[in-house]
Homo-oligomer: A and B are copies of this chain.
Amino acid sequence: MSTMPFGRDEYRGRLERTKTRLREAGLEALFVTDPANMNYLTGYDGWSFYVHQGVLVSLETDQPIWIGREMDANGARATVWLDDENVRSYGDEHVHSPAGKHPMDAVAALLEERGLASARIGVEMDGYYYSARAHERLVHHLPEATFADATLLVGEVRMIKSAREIEYIEQAAAIADAAMQAGFDAMEPGVPESTVAAEIYHTLIEGVDGYGGDYPAIVPLMPSGDHTGTPHLTWSDDPFEAGDPVIVELAGCRHRYHAPLARTAVLGDPTAEMADLADVVLEGLNAALEAVEPGITAERVERAWRETIADYGIEKESRIGYSMGCGYPPDWGEHTASLRPGDRTVLEEDMTFHLIPGVWFDEYGVEISEPFRVTASGAERFSSAPQTLVTI
């Protein structure tokens, strides 16, 4: 308990807002399996999401119940704000046991014990780590219950950040800025990509200003050379070559809160094409940032970008940003609002986004991003990294 990143009142407030949404959705209970949602509601922070686990929120009880593998119950007791009686576990015979017990057998028993066998229960149908089998077992055990999709229910509660959450994202941004610089400092022709990734990782974890870094939900992505058109490849042993373009996308992380950041560099002089593309991306990026204010929709922010780059004959089909914050692998995005046509989410103060309008062609690409917070006076950038195509 001594190491909890938020006070008990903050967790209680999150729980109350979640219960309000449960009531609005006509649900009596919610079984949360997304590790970020589990953390948000209870404080639980461990690398145990490779086995089934979850958090039960019920309208009838004033604390959530954590349930996971027996071996992880100590870790839960060490990190959650809940009373010990609300940390429950299942035996190891449920773990990766193809023909035997399934963890959801124990979850179903818990739901039954709490009088929820015929309740309306929300589950995160499209959340990470809620497998098709997990759902099938739960439905099988509780034939009287009604299951409703609540994939984004907690995510929507999470969108507006508290002062403490903002503070962690600010610390994460300082780490991200330092890690980006460490990567560029290490980059030169002949140096293997893995060596540069090692320097980036070192800074991400050591942190800055006395703040240690957490592991980010996505590893540093670093496509280079003719791979800059492939946004999600990681590093190799290959050495950088003079003239190589390289895109670095990474995130600093504090107490599971992320500040993602992307920059594009060239080892030498950029081609005219690439320098021009970077100028367009930067103009569009700043047009989008300037459009941000409370009350505007997500799609309107995207439109500012789209109209700007259209003047240069460039189109981009994929979204240019998303709501972000607390996260575990494989993603730091919240999956709620996306900056793209059709998304009518209304921006409010203290929502936080990663604006990342990458443009990739088959042969090269440019990504320059800004994590930002919505304030009364517009977008406030978290990062201090220069907005430029970096020349090494």
- Interface on A for B, CB 8 Å cutoff? 3, 45-50, 70-72, 74-75, 78-79, 91-93, 95-98, 100, 102, 123, 125-136, 149, 151-152, 192-195, 197-199, 201-207, 210-215, 218-219, 221, 223, 227, 229-238, 317-319, 322, 329-331, 333, 335, 338, 340, 342, 360, 362
User: Which of B151, B192, B237, B319 contacts A95, CB < 8 Å?
Assistant: B319
User: Which of B131, B207, B232 contacts A131, CB < 8 Å?
Assistant: B131
User: Which of B3, B193, B201, B230 contacts A78, CB < 8 Å?
Assistant: B230
- The distance from the CB of A260 to the nearest CB of chain B, in whole angstroms, is 13
Q: Report the Cα distance A329→B79, complex, angstroms.
A: 22
- The distance from the CB of A168 to the nearest CB of chain B, in whole angstroms, is 12
Q: Which of A127, A133, A211, A338 has the most CB of B within 10 A?
A: A133
With A194-B212, A212-B192, A235-B212 as given contacts, are A134 and B129 in contact (CB-CB < 8 Å)?
no
B125 touches A91 (CB 8 A): no
With A126-B133, A202-B198 as given contacts, are A70 and B318 in contact (CB-CB < 8 Å)?
yes
Q: Report the Cα distance A75→B233, complex, angstroms.
A: 6
With A50-B330, A218-B47, A318-B70 as given contacts, are A212 and B233 in contact (CB-CB < 8 Å)?
no
A318 touches B205 (CB 8 A): no
User: Which of B50, B96, B97, B205 contacts A198, CB < 8 Å?
Assistant: B205
Q: Which residues of B contact A123 (CB under 8 A)?
A: 132
A to B CB contacts below 8 Å, 6 in the list: A74-B230, A75-B227, A75-B231, A92-B319, A198-B201, A211-B237
Given A131-B131, A215-B234, 7 more A-B residue pairs with CB atoms under 8 Å apart are: A70-B317, A97-B338, A100-B342, A126-B133, A194-B212, A194-B213, A214-B234
A78 touches B45 (CB 8 A): no
Q: Which residues of B contact A130 (CB under 8 A)?
A: 131-132
- The distance from the CB of A111 to the nearest CB of chain B, in whole angstroms, is 16
A74 touches B333 (CB 8 A): no
B194 touches A45 (CB 8 A): no
- The distance from the CB of A381 to the nearest CB of chain B, in whole angstroms, is 24
B233 touches A78 (CB 8 A): yes
A360 touches B230 (CB 8 A): no
Q: Which residues of B contact A229 (CB under 8 A)?
A: 74
- The distance from the CB of A32 to the nearest CB of chain B, in whole angstroms, is 14
A360 touches B212 (CB 8 A): no
Nearest residue, chain B, Cβ from A231: B71
A207 touches B232 (CB 8 A): no
